[in-house]
Amino acid sequence: MTGSIADGPADFRRAAVAALADPALQQALGRNGFAQRRAQAIAALPEYPELRAAAAALKDHVLDHLDHYLERFAAAVEAAGGVVHWCDDAESAVAAVLGVARACGARTATKGKSMAGEEIGLNAALEAAGIRPIETDLGEYIIQLAHEPPSHIIAPASHKSMADVAGLFRAHHRDRPAERPLDQAEILVDEARTILRPAYGVAGLGITGANFLIAESGSAVIVTNEGNGDLTQALAPVHLVVAGIEKLVPRLEDAALLLRLLARSATGQDLTVYTTVASGPRRHADPDGPAAFHVVLIDNGRTALMGDARKAMLRCIRCGACLNHCPVYGQIGGHPYGATYGGPMGQVLTPALAGLGAARDLPQASTFCGRCAEVCPVAIPLPDLMRHWRDEIHQQALDPPRHRLALALWLWLARRPRFYRLAVRAASFGLRALARGGCLTAAPFAGGWTRGRVLPAPTGPSFFTQYRSGGNEP
């Protein structure tokens, strides 16, 4: 089973309905234990509220002075012997990576997990250029074999079952015995390890993302549990970092603050197994490490968020907590969002990256329950930012005409309480006339509601009808 993959964010509702009907996906979504583990980790950190406030303030400070910190970062990378590539959009970022790959003659590129790489469509571009990308994070490797996008920003293959993975390994690892047992996670992990090990040494280019970029030193910080990101960057002759411009923090100590929140919010660990700070290429006396160091800095729509309240979205440290606590994501997984980033953070980010027209359904697909904002370690008010997009959608008349008409009609009535009461009175009468046994199984204008629910009928004439007839009209 592949889950339901939207062709793009515009396809959200169709893909969401298909995802609801996919039993394998539903089973996989039931396995998500991140929320529980996060709760335990946060409960063990009494200073969490203060750390969260400090982290939000830190990111806000950086964003308010981002131009300055970016310039200082670039200068520090160059001073350490690295190269910075400033990229306006996905195309220029891809071109920068391909330029580096061609210059170093890479035939294969190992890749640590990078959502920025996903965002710019890096694998497809490398393949088209004749350079074989090899994902080394196990989850990313699995979905690369399946030719699927990630379904979760920290657990990209979480929609796959063990049997799915076994099937993919049988289909792709053809030099292995066909009848070998692949019925345990340990066996599958070991096979992936054996297959991927040689790749690190032969790759001409090692590509990683960055969890944080350090302005003072020009460093890229990555966190992993597998160690794949470290093998990728330590063994390749060229280390290339792909990262959004919002990853900047001033100093290494600032990364320490965010590290205290990141893993706890993501997987419930106090800290990931590996946290690596990479600063420039191999130095004069170093016996190993990459000989060249490149940083591809990506805007790709991020600066468009910086002019108003949506700037807070750029605080995001990609922990995935909002996905893990979202009732909508919990029902459908990440693919129906039709974009690199699913769940609440993607519902705010994708319209900036993909355009509001294509992504107009995403900010609407929320009950505004508020759990995402509540668990966000950098206090991004995600529902408020979705509402911000809804304001723009409405202003630009991107919402469906029948929704606009219904809203306009309702508004006309709501502004005229006398007419409003008459309309409610009529609706009450009509619904009661159609009701059987206290509810309706079909109703005009409520077809969507009654497909999966009955519509409880009004118990009698509207409140204001009864109140007035009781002589209580104010």
Partner 1 sequence: MAPRVGLLVTCLVDLFRPEVAFAAMRLVTATGATVVVPRQSCCGQPAYNNGDRMGACLIARQVVAAFEGFDHVVVPSGSCAGMVTHHYPRLFQDDAEFGPRARRLAARCFELTQYLADVAPLQPPAGPPVTVVCHESCSGLRELGIGRQARTLLARAGATVVEIAAPEPCCGFGGTFCVKFPELSAAIADRTCRSLAATGADLVVGADLGCLLNIAGRFGHLGGGPPVRHIAELLDGPPTAPPIGRS
Partner 2 sequence: MSREAILGRIRAQLKRGPLEPAQAAACDRRLAAAPAALLPRMAQFADRQALTAAFCQRLTAGGAELRRVTAWPAVPATVAAMLGPAGRPALGLAPALAMLDWAAAGLTVVPGPARPAQPAAITKAVAGIAETGSVVLASGPETPVTLNFLPDIHVVCLEAAALVASLEDGFGAARAGGLPRSITLIGGPSRTADIEQRMVMGAHGPRRLVVLLVGDHGG
Query: Alpha carbon 428 to chain centroid distance?
Result: 43
User: Any contact of residue 17 with partner 1 (CB under 8 A)?
Assistant: yes
Task: Tell me which of partner 2, partner 1, none is bound by residue 432, counting a contact when its beta carbon lies within the kind-specific cut-off of 5 to 8 angstroms.
Answer: none
CA–CA distances in Å: residue 332 to residues 3, 46, 252: 9, 33, 38
What residue type is assigned to position 7 of the chain? D
User: Any contact of residue 417 with partner 1 (CB under 8 A)?
Assistant: yes
Percentage helix, strand, coil for the chain under 3-state DSSP, each rounded to 5: 55, 10, 35
Neighbours of 54 (CB within 10 A): 17
What is the Cα–Cα distance from 295 to 278, expressed in whole angstroms?
11
Q: Which is nearer to partner 1, 256 or 410 (CB)?
A: 410
User: Any contact of residue 198 with partner 1 (CB under 8 A)?
Assistant: no
User: Any contact of residue 24 with partner 1 (CB under 8 A)?
Assistant: no
- Identify residues 377-416 at the interface with partner 1 (CB under 8 A): 387, 390-395, 399, 403, 407, 410-411, 413-416
Q: What angle separates helix 48-64 from helix 66-79, to the nearest 10 degrees?
A: 80
User: Any contact of residue 365 with partner 1 (CB under 8 A)?
Assistant: yes
Q: How many residues bind partner 1 (CB under 8 A)?
A: 67
Task: Tell me which of partner 1, partner 2, none is bound by residue 391, counting a contact when its beta carbon lies within the kind-specific cut-off of 5 to 8 angstroms.
Answer: partner 1
CA–CA distances in Å: residue 13 to residues 324, 341, 355, 359, 362: 20, 16, 18, 11, 9
What is the Cα–Cα distance from 162 to 183, expressed in whole angstroms?
7
Q: What angle separates helix 162-172 from helix 185-202, to the nearest 10 degrees?
A: 40
Residue choice 241, 366, 377, 382 for contact with partner 1 (CB under 8 A): 366
H and E: helices and strands count for the chain:
22, 12
User: Any contact of residue 6 with partner 1 (CB under 8 A)?
Assistant: no
Span of 112-120, 255-263, 297-305, 330-338 interacting with partner 1 by CB under 8 A: 330-338
Q: Which is nearer to partner 2, 197 or 416 (CB)?
A: 197
Residue choice 78, 331, 422, 443 for contact with partner 1 (CB under 8 A): 331
User: Any contact of residue 13 with partner 1 (CB under 8 A)?
Assistant: yes
- Identify residues 430-469 at the interface with partner 1 (CB under 8 A): 431, 435, 437-439, 446, 448-449, 451-464, 466-467
User: Any contact of residue 40 with partner 1 (CB under 8 A)?
Assistant: no
Span of 84-92, 139-147, 164-172, 426-434 interacting with partner 1 by CB under 8 A: 426-434
- Say if strands 219-224 and 212-214 run parallel, antiparallel, or are unpaired: antiparallel
CA–CA distances in Å: residue 133 to residues 122, 227, 296: 9, 18, 17
Residue choice 271, 283, 368, 442 for contact with partner 1 (CB under 8 A): 368
- Identify residues 77-96 at the interface with partner 1 (CB under 8 A): none
Q: What angle separates helix 48-64 from helix 252-266, to the nearest 10 degrees?
A: 130
Residue of 363, 342, 343, 356 lying closest to 118 (CA atoms):
342
Span of 186-194, 235-243, 327-335, 350-358 interacting with partner 1 by CB under 8 A: 327-335
Q: Which chain residues interact with partner 1 by CB under 8 A?
A: 13, 16-17, 20, 327-328, 330-332, 364-371, 373-374, 387, 390-395, 399, 403, 407, 410-411, 413-417, 420-421, 424, 427-428, 431, 435, 437-439, 446, 448-449, 451-464, 466-467, 472, 474
